[in-house]
A = this chain, B = another copy of it.
């Protein structure tokens, strides 16, 4: 076994629930040399996780320093409370995507308020299950940590250390603020995507046939796991309803403006314009390549010739130029890839890559 790095969290760490997030946490801890114990009610999940090198099966007499509960929100409170009883000295935390209901539920069920510190690593994938787990899933991601006023300082410190040991960046947040945040940026968008996709049921084939990339992007998450999302939305019902209040008000105002325009009334197109303008302003707030931090990368756009193998030639050229790609975007037109590939690189590397590609006769634009 690897020697634990000096700044790694002390083990052993027990991970309960060998799904995507649980197994990824276990793999990340193992990578850091921390001893990991695993438990899952599903023997097959457990077997896959152990075989992937995530840790060993929990045995009687094991005394974990931290217990990480990585189970669905519906049962998380009960599992947290049970873990608190079974391991009376351990720090108890979770990775559930809703915090207030789960954590207060665990307290109600008898979890120790001093040792309980909620958490939510902001990492997910479109696949689920331990087979999709990766040791680097949390690398560089935010890990929201939600201490209670009753949480002991050493327990909070341990959960923060757990996050950094897994490669994540911990952020402390109150339970309610966490839930309001994920309602805004994740749970309400899920509802909108589902409701929009539901409009396609019963519509003419002819209509759906002309769907473009915009609809595809907006309904992608509508194909998510129904049982998991029913759980999440039910557990965060109030904050999600609050976001929907605002969405419905704005949609209703837009609909009224459109009805006014359709019937030739006085309703000005300015109301419609205002909604679109607000959308541009709101969208620009999103951090990352689509928002504020976009300027941190240089974008090199390449129009590929319509010949087989051009993508291979392009990426080989990038490799030869020894430029590290921060992101790649292949433009899709009506759901099919087009010849336009955007490469995102550090500003320093931009000119070098651009010149290298032009020297190889690539059609570099912008």
Which residues of A are interface residues toward B (Cβ below 8 A)? 122-126, 131, 134, 136-137, 140-142, 144, 171, 173, 177, 180-182, 184-186, 188-201, 203-204, 206-212, 214-224, 226-227, 229-230, 233-234, 237-238, 240-241, 243-248, 250-252, 254-255, 258-259, 261-262, 269, 272-273, 275-290, 303, 306, 308-309, 311-320, 322, 324-328, 330-340, 365
Given A221-B217, A328-B311, A336-B140 in contact, is the A282-B184 Cβ separation under 8 Å? no
Are B200 and A196 neighbours in the complex by a CB distance under 8 Å? no
CA gap between A261 and B237 in the complex, in Å: 6
Among B125, B136, B184, B218, contact of A200 (Cβ-Cβ < 8 Å): B184
CA gap between A131 and B230 in the complex, in Å: 46
Given A195-B251, A251-B247 in contact, is the A214-B201 Cβ separation under 8 Å? no
CA gap between A37 and B316 in the complex, in Å: 41
Are B188 and A199 neighbours in the complex by a CB distance under 8 Å? yes
CA gap between A185 and B336 in the complex, in Å: 16
Chain A to chain B: the 8 pairs with minimum beta-carbon distance, closest first: A194-B279, A312-B319, A288-B335, A238-B262, A222-B279, A198-B278, A197-B282, A200-B282
Among B212, B224, B313, B315, contact of A311 (Cβ-Cβ < 8 Å): B315
CA gap between A203 and B182 in the complex, in Å: 12
Given A136-B306, A248-B255, A327-B336 in contact, is the A281-B196 Cβ separation under 8 Å? no
Given A181-B204, A206-B181, A333-B137 in contact, is the A222-B324 Cβ separation under 8 Å? no
Q: Which residues of B contact A314 (CB under 8 A)?
A: 315
Among B141, B186, B246, B262, contact of A214 (Cβ-Cβ < 8 Å): B186
Among B171, B182, B282, B311, contact of A201 (Cβ-Cβ < 8 Å): B282
Residue of B nearest to A287 (CB): B209
Are B261 and A198 neighbours in the complex by a CB distance under 8 Å? no
Question: From residue A242, how far is it (CB to closest CB) to chain B in Å?
Answer: 9
Q: Provide a sorted-by-A list of 21 A–B residue pairs whose CB atoms are within 8 angstroms.
A: A126-B331, A136-B339, A171-B206, A181-B207, A189-B215, A194-B279, A197-B281, A198-B278, A208-B285, A211-B286, A211-B287, A214-B221, A218-B221, A223-B283, A223-B284, A223-B290, A244-B251, A248-B255, A309-B319, A326-B337, A330-B330
CA gap between A308 and B322 in the complex, in Å: 8
Question: From residue A67, how far is it (CB to closest CB) to chain B in Å?
Answer: 24
Q: Which residues of B contact A206 (CB under 8 A)?
A: 171, 173, 177, 181
Among B122, B203, B240, B280, contact of A334 (Cβ-Cβ < 8 Å): B122
